[in-house]
Amino acid sequence: MLVLAIFLGLISEPHLSFVKGDAALIKDVCSKTAIPFYCKKCYQVFGRSSHEDVKALGRTAIECSQTELAIFQSTFGNFYETINDAEFKRASGTCLSNLVTVGNHIKSALQSWQGARYADSANQMLTAQKLTHQHCGYQFITAKLTLPLAKQLDTLMGFSEVSNGVLKQIH
């Protein structure tokens, strides 16, 4: 739990910058994604990204999504237990159950990346992002989430979308 809290602290601190190596490559790669902010945020947390090429940055982007999914599932699962509103509880339950599918797509993306099937990996991340938005997004639950949970959900969707964008740059 302490490690989770430390990681959450790192993710929520946009002023931290651990990227010291090839910052120009990271800047270039991130500028070609739909949400450069989340791209830079991912690579700030995973300091090894400062020494990676574009292919390895693709893996790191997937791992950012995977890590954020685990954090969100844990904290949202605890929050779910406290919900009293029946309609909100139903929508939240749908979100929680679909996060398992999201996790499977992220795992598949990593497996595709390991097999050098980068286009498939990008598609898996796009599917993960779309499923997260469809089942957990703003129209269902965001308005009723605590601010920290809403930020985690935004980060999860942002990292998933960025992963897709980074993976599409691998040739």
- CATH number, domain of 85, equals 1.20.140.40
The 10 Å Cβ neighbour count of residue 118 is 20
- The pLDDT, as a whole number, for residue 35 is 94
Residue 13 lies in a domain: no
Answer yes or no: is pLDDT of 31 > 60.
yes
Q: Supply the pLDDT for residue 167.
A: 97
pLDDT of residue 21: 42
In a domain, 14, yes or no: no
Q: 84-130: per-residue pLDDT in tens?
A: 989 889 989 999 999 999 999 999 999 999 999 999 999 999 999 99
Residue 145 — very low, low, confident or very high, per pLDDT cuts 50/70/90?
Answer: confident
What tokens appear for 25 in the block?
A: 């490559």
Residue 88 lies inside a defined structural domain of this protein: yes
Residue 22 CB partners (closer than 8 Å, separation 6+)? 50, 51, 52
In angstroms, the CA 134 to CA 21 distance is 37
In a domain, 138, yes or no: yes
Q: Note if the pTM is more than 0.75.
A: yes
pLDDT value at residue 141 = 66
Express each pLDDT in 49-89 by its tens digit: 778 899 999 999 999 999 999 999 999 999 999 999 898 89
CA distance 52 to 136: 32
Q: Look-up: residue for tokens 């002023």? A: 15
The per-residue pLDDT for 52 is: 83
Q: Which domain does 24 fall in, by range?
A: 20-167
> Are 101 and 129 contacting, i.e. CB atoms less than 8 angstroms apart?
no
Tell me which H or E stretch contains 48.
none
Give the DSSP letter of residue 53.
-
Torsion, Cα 107 20 71 9, to 10 degrees, reads 180
Helix, strand or coil for residue 36? helix
Domain count for the chain: 1
Which band of pLDDT confidence, cut at 50, 70 and 90, is reported for residue 142?
A: low
Whether residue 150 contacts residue 30, with contact meaning beta carbons closer than 8 Å, is answered with: no
pLDDT at 95: 92
Burial class (CB in 10 A: 0-12, 13-18, 19+), 166: buried
Q: Is residue 10 part of a domain?
A: no
